[in-house]
Amino acid sequence: MAAGAAFDVDADHEFAYGIALQADGKILQAGYNNITGEVLVVRWNSDGTVDTSFGGGSGYSYMGLIDDIDRDIEVVVINPPGHFFDGEKPLENIPAMVYLYSTQLRPLLKANPLFFGHSLGGLVAYEVCKELGKKFPVTDMIISSVNPPHCTMEEVDMHSEMDTETLVQKSTKMGGMPQVFKEEPAMLEAFITGLRGDLRALENYTPPDPGNVEKIDVTAAVLYSDRDYIVHPSKLKEWEYYLHCSEYIPFPGDHFYLFETSNRKTVARIIGEGVRGKR
């Protein structure tokens, strides 16, 4: 997991070199991997738990969710290039993402995997399942906070060429902008670079025609929140053009509802039930 817990995944090669206490009591810790050269940053809540709202579109965002998933379930996180100090250039088209992630996942897949994708990750997860399904049976997934492929961008009020200030304002409105990013120029630049890459990927995406698309043999639970202004329940029903939707599950909150502790724990439970075939 490229963006896992920064200082305990690989104790032989990952080292902390700096720490700062924020005014709100949260602790910011920085370090590096002496093999890959990656800069690693993690933020801790005042009680010592990982701050899962901190991550800027990277795998860090899922650390709390992973901690809540039952320990007997193996979790693999794909970290998008160009997000949060990994030193890489963001991928700016979805086919490139699908090729990279499919290539990375094929040797890791075991029987009956369940895919989970949030926001842009939900769209990419669908495309990856479609690609992998040509040679490997993928039957279950969970899609979170994203409209179907043909209308993914319909309500998104951001584009890649907006100035940084506007992107910050709109990201804040969606609930996806940690305050510390606004206060630290290097972190803000890293966040905005990844965000622009994601927006370009969406802008370059050619969605399938819902009236002429082959439905993949995948069953999905669709998760959404009640204050997400870019995702609408009525549109979510149209995922049925692309796969089999078993249920639609609402949550309280904004686009990033799964950063809230009770929501996150419920999502972890849903993932666990899905892996065990109990949903």
Q: Where are the alpha helices (DSSP H) in 10-163?
A: 63-68, 94-105, 120-132
Task: Tell me what pLDDT residue 103 has.
Answer: 92
Number of domains in the chain: 1
Rounded to whole angstroms, the Cα distance separating 167 from 159 reads 8
In CATH, what number is assigned to the domain containing residue 171?
3.40.50.1820
Pairing of strands 114-118, 140-144: parallel
Q: Is residue 67 predicted with pLDDT exceeding 50?
A: yes
Task: Tell me what pLDDT residue 229 has.
Answer: 92
Q: Is residue 28 predicted with pLDDT exceeding 60?
A: no
Residue 5 lies in a domain: no
Q: Is residue 70 predicted with pLDDT exceeding 90?
A: no
Collapse the DSSP code of 206 into the 3-class scheme (helix H, G, I; strand E, B; otherwise coil) and give the result. coil
Task: Tell me what pLDDT residue 275 has.
Answer: 81
Q: Is residue 55 predicted with pLDDT exceeding 50?
A: no
Q: Is residue 261 predicted with pLDDT exceeding 80?
A: yes
Residue 31 lies in a domain: no
Mean pLDDT of 234-257: 95
Percent of the chain residues topping a pLDDT of 90: 44
What pLDDT band is residue 43 in, cutting at 50, 70 and 90?
A: low
**E strand spans, 139-206:** 140-144
Residue 229 lies in a domain: yes
Average pLDDT of the chain is: 81
Residue 23 lies in a domain: no
Residue 91 lies in a domain: yes
197 CB burial (10 A radius; 0-12, 13-18, 19+): buried
Residue 4 lies in a domain: no
Task: Tell me what pLDDT residue 31 has.
Answer: 60
Mean pLDDT of 13-19: 57
pTM: 0.78
Mean pLDDT of 259-278: 88
CB 18 within 8 A of CB 29: yes
Mean pLDDT of 27-41: 55
Residue 29 lies in a domain: no
What pLDDT band is residue 220 in, cutting at 50, 70 and 90?
A: very high
Phi first, then psi: what are they for 200, rounded to 5°?
Answer: -65, -40
CB 145 within 8 A of CB 152: no
* Domain, as residue range, for 156: 51-275
Question: Measuring CA to CA, which residue among 125, 200, 196 is closest to residue 167?
Answer: 196
What pLDDT band is residue 4 in, cutting at 50, 70 and 90?
A: very low
Q: How many residues does the chain have?
A: 279
- Tokens read off for 3: 């963006």
Q: Is residue 24 predicted with pLDDT exceeding 70?
A: no
Q: Is residue 278 predicted with pLDDT exceeding 70?
A: no
Task: Tell me what pLDDT residue 198 has.
Answer: 93
Give 119-157 pLDDT, tens digit per residue: 999 999 999 999 998 888 889 999 999 999 999 988 889
Residue 30 lies in a domain: no
Task: Tell me what pLDDT residue 166 has.
Answer: 95
Task: Tell me what pLDDT residue 10 has.
Answer: 44
Mean pLDDT of 252-265: 92
36 CB burial (10 A radius; 0-12, 13-18, 19+): middle
Phi first, then psi: what are they for 59, rounded to 5°?
Answer: -60, -20
